[in-house]
Amino acid sequence: VFNKRIKQVLGYLLFSLGIYKKLLGKRAVVVAFHRVSDDAIASSINCPPNDFRRYCRFFRRFFDVIDLATLIKHIDSGESIGGKLAITFDDGYEDNAMNAAPILKEMGLPATFFITTNFIGSDHQTFWDIDHGVESKWMSWDDVRQLDNDGFDIGGHTLNHVDLAEVDFGVAQSEIYGCRDRISSELNRSPKHFAYPFGGADQISDEARQAVMDAGFNCCTSCCHGLVSPGDSVDNLSREAITTWHVSPYQFGFEFVHRALQR
Ligand SMILES: [Zn+2]
């Protein structure tokens, strides 16, 4: 209905006039990034560092940015989550440590990094990066440990980025437990949060979701559009992914406020 520029202007008005607060009400936002790089411009899941900084400013200006653990605690205890926002990253790209983490640190913002453990320290090329003609570059375990030491949260995203609804349940289990065990042994602490690969509503089965919780994770997030409402089930949290389709934080903001109105 609206083109992106109009959405951007409407988003600017919704946020700068404070109208978004009323429209979002008691809901929280969990955002999902993938790459933060100047070298992966052709990738649709990239957000260049300068744009990433704009998003971070936007989050800090209009939301109470908290870590995922605090959000989960609030959902469990029934405390208010209205106006809260959590920042997350999927897959484990090297640029997360190189480009995103320094900006987050500078701005004092917490974040969760969901890592595909067999990609870490490898030269594995994903089909989606190959499709876009960009190179997949992964963090090393030293990078991951540095993020952990800096107070960032490290979460699980399976061993090999499999579609947990498509593989046999035995494979799904080993992808979930193997990922947990690798993070535990590398960081000497067990990961608490899990994001399922691809993140579409039909890319995890109920039994795989149960296996995630049985493995000791205390939340499971998707990449389905949507906000988090009080009383939402922590094993099925929606996230709003930021892609190159978004021209600015205000358009992104418009999109999720607009969707929230339609529910
Ligand atoms: Zn992923």
Rounded to the nearest whole angstrom, what is the distance from the C-alpha of residue 167 to the centroid of ligand 1? Answer: 16
Is residue 104's pLDDT more than 70? yes
Token pair 């939301």 in the structure block, residue: 63
Rounded to the nearest whole angstrom, what is the distance from the C-alpha of residue 91 to the centroid of ligand 1? Answer: 5
Rounded to the nearest whole angstrom, what is the distance from the C-alpha of residue 250 to the centroid of ligand 1? Answer: 25
Token pair 């934080």 in the structure block, residue: 249
Mean pLDDT computed over 90-100: 98
Residues 15, 20, 22, 26, CA torsion sign: negative
C-beta atoms surrounding 80 within 10 Å: 10
Task: Give the pLDDT confidence of 195-251 residue by residue, as tens digits.
Answer: 999 999 899 999 999 999 999 999 999 988 899 999 999 999 999 999 999 999 999
Rounded to the nearest whole angstrom, what is the distance from the C-alpha of residue 248 to the centroid of ligand 1? Answer: 22
Rounded to the nearest whole angstrom, what is the distance from the C-alpha of residue 143 to the centroid of ligand 1? Answer: 18
Is residue 1's pLDDT more than 70? no
**Strand runs labelled E in 15-120:** 29-33, 64-65, 84-91, 112-115
- Name the percent of the chain in helix, strand, coil, to the closest 5: 45, 15, 45
Give strand pairing partners of 154.
113
Burial tier of 103 (Cβ tally within 10 Å: 0-12, 13-18, 19+): middle
Rounded to the nearest whole angstrom, what is the distance from the C-alpha of residue 179 to the centroid of ligand 1? Answer: 13
The answer to pTM > 0.95 is yes
Work out whether strand 84-91 and strand 29-33 pair parallel, antiparallel, or are unpaired: parallel
Check residue 195 and give its pLDDT: 97
Give me the DSSP letters along 90-159: EE-BHHIIIIIHHHHHHHT---EEEE-TTTTTS----HHHHHHT----B--HHHHHHHHHTT-EEEE--S
